Chains A and B, each alone.
Chain A
Amino acid sequence: MKLLVNGSEKDVFVSEWSEQGVKLAVDGVTYSFTTQELSKMVSGISTDKKKGHVLVHGQDLFIEPLSKKNCGGALEAGAMISPMPGKIFKVIKVAGQEVKKGETILIMEAMKMEHPVKASRDGKILEIIFNEGQQVDGGVELVSLKPAGKE
């Protein structure tokens, strides 16, 4: 089966379940864990039993089966996406404008705070997808930018 672990894809094959524990291969490497050690881990699972949250060495792992919904279609690296649900408070730049990396393109407002959304690289703004005052969800692309030097 394929799992998404903190956003990266893992190929998982379970070869054996027993009272003593589990043997499994992750990306071709085989591991075995005893029931006893697994039972000491802090973990939880969503009500639909799909998503899991496990603490390993204190770190959070979010695990879910890879599905059509979460595979592919990932945003291009450096895309400017809304960090959280909120409102477009102010649009500073306009489509067609050249921007330098780090320049503020628009300001989002959420949790009564202003969050500037800055250019992720030098380039030209193709489109600012929302208008001032619009509500946007978290994780949504806000600005489409053509990187400098790319035709």
Chain B
Amino acid sequence: MFKKILIANRAEIALRVVKSCKEMNIACVTIYTDIEKDYPHASAGDESICLGDGPLSDTYLNQDRLIALAKELGVDAIHPGYGLLSENPSFAQKLATNNITLIGPSAENMLLMGDKIASKAEMERIGVPTIPGYHGANQDSAFLLEQAKKVGLPVMIKASAGGGGKGMRIVKSFDEFSEALTSAKSEALKSFSDENVLIERYIETPRHIEVQVMSDSHGNHLHFFERECSIQRRHQKIIEESPSPALDSDLRSRICASAVMITKSINYQGAGTVEYILDENGAFFFLEMNTRLQVEHPITEMVTGVDLVRQQIEVAAGGKLNLTQNEISQRGHALEVRIYAEDPDNNFMPSIGTIWDVTSSSLNGVRFDNGFVAGNEVTINFDPMLSKLIVWDSNRENAISKMNICLDEVAYLGFKTNREYLKRVLSSKPFKAGNITTNFIRDYEKELVKVELSEEAIAKGIATYLYTKRFSGGSEVKQVHSKKQTPWSYLNNFRNI
């Protein structure tokens, strides 16, 4: 087993990996930048190294620097988390050359799955269904328009190297095609240094279903069932759940078997996620495979009871998976919401500010994967995702209800987040009924508008504000929430003076 792991990531995911390292008695190193000095991950490792200031390319994305650091500190494996260098084949290659283990798949696996064109071709070869489209190398505008006409409207233009909705456009009339193509290419070039795009049929009521997989280096390929991640804004997931309400047991076993067939065919190693689009007729199409740990992995951990990070580390160290497929089952229902620093009532624009306080939940079966503490600045330098709130309960209805209660308890105070908006989605009729698609946020825009508070509720808010202000004592930040911090004590102090 590894002696020391470097976690090449930040915020909540760095803290998540630290937890498994601790439980496995493996030393770990976290890294951070100047502006993150007060963030929890900056002191979470057995050793924590400051990378100074500068753009990401000088810090978290500086491959040579991270490798030099790993050598200097006697690190034998690197956990890349998600995003950043997690799906970078050249980094995987460099680590291999330097005899440092990457806790992730081979560079070859990454290279194949990171290329949307090559991965779809491979899927076609092994018989996994894909969405009709053109995934070729000819990038001539007139040729692409011709291909779009073959695929049929509506058509989607997507960056070949893309992800997270960057470099993606939907075209509903061929008149819009050329403008959309130009802007998709320019965004692709900026985000991925690669302006190649692919063209695909756009499915009108798609559901996003993904399968968690894990493979060791001894030819064992397992799946940990599905997650449904259909609730998305700006093509990024905001609510995920497992199991999916869209799958019956037959469809579930077929889609999971398809994912395992892929990992077997490409001789995959480590944790991965195969993403599918499910259409209104129950047909599923391969979308892409993420060759890393996924943001929403906790819901799978909640329903299967398996620590996926621990499994990742075990198999990266050459171990055999200590589970068989029959031993893995879904128990109850888990939901995850992503809490973003953003304003859902202003087109989900990112918000910034100082975190005055972060409150916690009083309920059972709640996991809060959070990367921030009171006093931290939320800036535009990093992704606006602050944390993930995960709940587990015996069934979907109870899990939804629990999450709604939880979202009233767990709040970042000091600036706008999507917290209350998530409640609107969870409380809506179509969500409760399980009638969700990746267009949900757009389709139900009108139902998801903010309900104005009554005058009395506003007065209560004002009274609370005045009360907090009056009795917040000498401490910098005071929160009227947990028992030990109740302003009653301050009220008493006040009287005694």
Contact yes or no, A22 B166, CB < 8 A: no
Interface hub of A5, A22, A55 (most chain B Cβ within 10 A): A55
Contact yes or no, B420 A60, CB < 8 A: yes
Q: Does A61 lie at the interface of the complex (its beta carbon under 8 Å from any beta carbon of B)?
A: yes
Contact yes or no, A41 B464, CB < 8 A: yes
Q: Does A78 lie at the interface of the complex (its beta carbon under 8 Å from any beta carbon of B)?
A: no
Nearest CB in chain B to that of A22: its residue: B463
- Given A44-B356, A45-B356, A60-B416, decide whether A39 and B488 contact each other with a Cβ distance below 8 A: yes
CB-CB under 8 A from B249, the residues of chain A are none
CB-CB under 8 A from A41, the residues of chain B are 460-461, 464, 480-481
Nearest CB in chain B to that of A82: its residue: B349
Task: Count chain B residues whose beta carbon lies closer than 8 angstroms to a beta carbon of A.
Answer: 63
- Given A31-B459, A38-B464, decide whether A58 and B420 contact each other with a Cβ distance below 8 A: yes
Nearest CB in chain A to that of B495: its residue: A19
**Per-position 1/0 for B461-472, Cβ under 8 A of A:** 111111111101
Task: Count chain A residues whose beta carbon lies closer than 8 angstroms to a beta carbon of B.
Answer: 52
Q: Does A136 lie at the interface of the complex (its beta carbon under 8 Å from any beta carbon of B)?
A: no
CB-CB under 8 A from B487, the residues of chain A are 39
What is the minimal beta-carbon distance from B10 to any residue of chain A, in angstroms? 16
Contact yes or no, B459 A29, CB < 8 A: yes
- Given A31-B460, A41-B480, A56-B457, decide whether A46 and B466 contact each other with a Cβ distance below 8 A: no
Nearest CB in chain B to that of A62: its residue: B416
What is the minimal beta-carbon distance from B421 to any residue of chain A, in angstroms? 10
Contact yes or no, A60 B414, CB < 8 A: no
Contact yes or no, B413 A44, CB < 8 A: yes
What is the minimal beta-carbon distance from A137 to any residue of chain B, in angstroms? 11
CB-CB under 8 A from B450, the residues of chain A are 59
CB-CB under 8 A from B346, the residues of chain A are 83
Return the contact of A52 from the options B415, B419, B420, B468 (Cβ within 8 A).
Answer: B468
What is the minimal beta-carbon distance from A44 to any residue of chain B, in angstroms? 3
Within 8 A of A (CB), among B378-420: 380, 383-384, 407-409, 411, 413-417, 419-420
Give bound CA distance, A35 to B411, whole Å.
Answer: 22
Q: Does B423 lie at the interface of the complex (its beta carbon under 8 Å from any beta carbon of A)?
A: yes
Contact yes or no, B456 A31, CB < 8 A: yes
Return the contact of A84 from the options B380, B478, B486 (Cβ within 8 A).
Answer: B380
Give bound CA distance, A149 to B365, whole Å.
Answer: 60
Interface hub of A22, A41, A53 (most chain B Cβ within 10 A): A53
CB-CB under 8 A from B183, the residues of chain A are 114
Return the contact of A43 from the options B456, B457, B465, B488 (Cβ within 8 A).
Answer: B465
Within 8 A of A (CB), among B338-352: 346-347, 349-352
Q: List 27 A-B contacts (CB under 8 A).
A: A5-B461, A17-B470, A22-B466, A33-B459, A42-B409, A42-B480, A43-B413, A43-B480, A44-B479, A45-B465, A45-B472, A47-B354, A49-B469, A49-B472, A52-B469, A53-B414, A54-B464, A56-B461, A58-B407, A58-B423, A59-B453, A60-B419, A61-B461, A63-B465, A110-B350, A113-B166, A114-B183
Given contacts A10-B458, A111-B380, 6 further A-B contacts (CB under 8 A): A22-B463, A39-B486, A39-B487, A52-B469, A54-B464, A110-B380
